[in-house]
Structures are given as structure tokens and as C-alpha cells.
């Protein structure tokens, strides 16, 4: 039984496009791990492979014994025709009926009670994201993988999410957040992996890169120094 969650020598091609190119990455408990990089750098593909949704062209995925893996994707995944409350009921059942106090806590973080009776398909972009993040957290996952969770969130909710993720990692859970918005994540990240054109161009810990201003600089330099086209977007 392993608790290791990793990819080894991972390559994923889509025809002529090499989305991920020979990547080794191991996810660890207790840290907020930011997977950063410009649009198209391979972040979503890497997360998809880790989650078993994308089949690698080459390489190996090592999955933990725990099935408590939670995720949220760029496209929300819930039942449009059900209300928010009904979606919560369905996903709670699927998650094995998690502790109700935990469900209340997550609902509170994402302020879902305000839209309990709305049809999920009619939610704004922000509330869609908030519902999707809540559903991803229902089974209090040991490994939480979020793809661009900050998109569409207002400033207040974004702050709540970041604060929540910091606490959740501090409890010993693995939190991986992909984003091209390094500035927003810089204050809470413990580890930064920068991808560019399918490759990892930087992988460092906060104590190595030390401080928000440095993180921004390191991110931009890593991309510039990769010798590839510079298209920093965050
Ligand atoms: N299903 C697919 N079919 C063809 N090409 C794909 C597919 N999925 C991703 N790609 C390509 O693979 C590359 C990496 O995409 P990916 O979505 O993994 O990057 P990303 O860093 O997550 O970017 P973004 O933040 O824009 O989603 C891009 O060139 C993208 O166009």
C-alpha cells in the first residue's frame, strides 16, 4: 500500500502537440503546492493524468492506496437541472455520507446557502465554481487537486478559498492548485512548480524562493530562462 502520488517520466502527446514532455512530479502531504505556468503549458493535462482521466503516452502514474482524492476542473461538473441543495444531496450520497459538520463548514466557506434553491445550471460563473469546489471537498479528500480554482471567484471568496486551503494543507492533506495567476497564490504556497511548454522549468519550496516578490520574479525568470517563447500571463 502506497501513499505516494506521482508521475514518472510522463509524456502526453495529442497528435503533433506534446502537452507534457518527460515530467517527474511527486505530490506531498501538508503543503499547498502551486502548479503554475502560462496557458497551454500542460497543467491540466498533468492533473488529468494524475486523476486517471487522461491516458499517458509514456511514463508511469503511482496512485495512493487512499481513494480520498478530490478534484475540481476548469469546467464545473454537476447536475444542471437540479438545485444546489439537490446537487449537494446527490454528491453527499456518492461521497459516502460525510460528516454533516464538515459539509456545513465547506458550504459556509463557499457561501452556498445563499443559492440553495437555485437551479445549478442557472448559477453565475462564480457560484458555479463555488458549488464545484464544494462538491470536490465533500469527502474531505487526503489529496485535493484543483484546476484553476480562482477563475471567476470574487475577491472575498478568493481570499476565503486561499485561507481555507492553507488550513487544509496544514492539517496534513495534499493540496495541488493549478493556476496561471501566480500573484494570487504566492502568499499561501509552500511549493511552486512552474511548467512551460510541457516541461517543468522550476520546482522549489517557499524557503528556497522566499517571499512573494521573489516568487513572482522566480516564476518569470524560470519561463524566460527555459529558452522557449516568453508568454508570461500571470
Ligand atoms: N484534448 C486535447 N486535444 C488536443 N490538444 C490538447 C487537448 N488537451 C490539451 N491540448 C493541448 O495540450 C497543450 C497543453 O494543454 P493544457 O490544457 O494541459 O495546458 P494548461 O497549462 O492547463 O493550459 P490552460 O490553463 O489554458 O488550460 C496545449 O497546447 C493544448 O492545446
Average pLDDT on 96-106 reads 90
Q: Report d(CA 147, CA 61) in Å as an integer.
A: 18
| pLDDT of 230 over the 60 cut | no
DSSP secondary structure string for all residues of 48-71 = HHHTTSS--SEEEEE--S---EEE
Q: Report d(CA 130, CA 114) in Å as an integer.
A: 12
pLDDT band for 2, please (50, 70, 90 cuts): low
User: For a substitution probing ligand 1, which of 18, 43, 47 has the most ligand atoms within 8 Å of its CB?
Assistant: 43
Give kind and range of the element (H or E) at residue 125.
helix 125-137
Long-range contacts of 14-21 (CB under 8 A, 24+ apart): 18/198, 19/45, 19/198, 20/45, 20/46, 20/49, 20/198, 21/197, 21/198, 21/199
User: For a substitution probing ligand 1, which of 40, 51, 176, 199 has the most ligand atoms within 8 Å of its CB?
Assistant: 40
Q: Report d(CA 211, CA 215) in Å as an integer.
A: 6
pLDDT tens for 205-221 read 887 776 666 677 777 88
Please name the residue whose Cα sits nearest to atom 28 of ligand 1: 40
CA angle 57, 59, 63 (to 5 degrees): 110
pLDDT band for 228, please (50, 70, 90 cuts): low
45 Cα: distance to centroid of ligand 1 (angstroms):
6
User: For a substitution probing ligand 1, which of 19, 146, 147, 193 has the most ligand atoms within 8 Å of its CB?
Assistant: 19
Q: 176 forms bridges with which residues in the sheet?
A: 33, 145
Any ligand 1 atom below 6 A from CB of 226: no
Please name the residue whose Cα sits nearest to atom 4 of ligand 1: 14
Any ligand 1 atom below 6 A from CB of 234: no
120 Cα: distance to centroid of ligand 1 (angstroms):
27
Average pLDDT on 98-109 reads 91
First to last CA, the chain: 39
Query: How far is residue 230 CA from its own chain's centroid?
Result: 24
pLDDT for 61: 95
CA angle 157, 204, 7 (to 5 degrees): 85
Q: Give which of 150, 128, 5 is closest to 63, Cα–Cα.
A: 5
Any ligand 1 atom below 6 A from CB of 39: yes
**Residue spans of beta strands (DSSP E) within the chain:** 5-14, 17-27, 32-36, 58-62, 69-72, 143-147, 174-179, 191-196, 199-205
Q: Tell me which residue has cell 463555488.
A: 130
Q: Does this complex have an ipTM over 0.90?
A: yes
pLDDT band for 232, please (50, 70, 90 cuts): very low
Q: Parallel, antiparallel, or unpaired for β 143-147 and 174-179?
A: parallel
Amino acid at each position: 500500500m502506497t501513499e505516494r502520488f506521482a508521475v514518472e517520466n510522463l509524456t502526453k502527446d495529442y497528435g503533433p502537440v506534446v502537452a507534457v514532455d518527460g515530467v517527474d512530479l511527486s505530490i506531498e502531504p501538508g503543503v499547498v503546492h502551486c502548479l503554475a505556468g502560462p496557458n497551454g503549458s500542460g497543467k491540466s493535462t498533468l492533473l488529468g493524468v494524475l486523476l486517471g482521466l487522461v491516458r499517458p503516452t509514456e511514463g508511469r502514474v503511482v496512485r495512493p492506496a487512499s481513494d480520498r482524492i478530490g478534484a475540481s476542473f476548469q469546467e464545473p461538473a454537476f447536475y444542471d437541472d437540479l438545485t444546489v441543495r439537490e446537487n449537494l444531496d446527490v454528491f453527499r450520497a456518492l461521497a459516502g455520507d460525510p460528516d454533516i459538520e464538515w459539509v456545513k463548514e465547506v458550504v459556509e466557506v463557499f457561501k452556498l446557502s445563499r443559492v440553495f434553491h437555485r437551479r445549478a445550471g442557472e448559477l453565475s460563473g462564480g457560484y458555479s465554481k463555488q458549488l464545484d469546489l464544494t462538491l470536490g471537498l465533500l469527502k474531505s479528500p487526503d489529496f485535493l487537486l484543483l484546476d484553476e480554482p480562482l477563475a471567476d471567484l470574487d475577491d472575498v471568496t478568493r481570499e476565503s478559498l486561499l485561507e481555507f486551503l492553507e488550513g487544509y494543507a496544514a492539517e496534513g492533506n495534499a493540496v495541488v492548485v493549478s493556476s496561471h495567476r501566480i500573484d494570487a497564490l504566492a502568499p499561501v504556497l509552500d511549493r511552486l512548480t512552474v511548467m512551460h511548454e510541457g516541461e517543468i522549468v522550476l520546482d522549489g519550496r517557499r524557503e528556497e524562493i522566499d517571499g512573494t516578490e521573489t516568487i513572482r520574479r522566480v516564476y518569470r525568470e524560470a519561463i524566460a530562462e527555459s529558452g522557449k517563447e516568453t508568454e508570461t500571463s500571470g
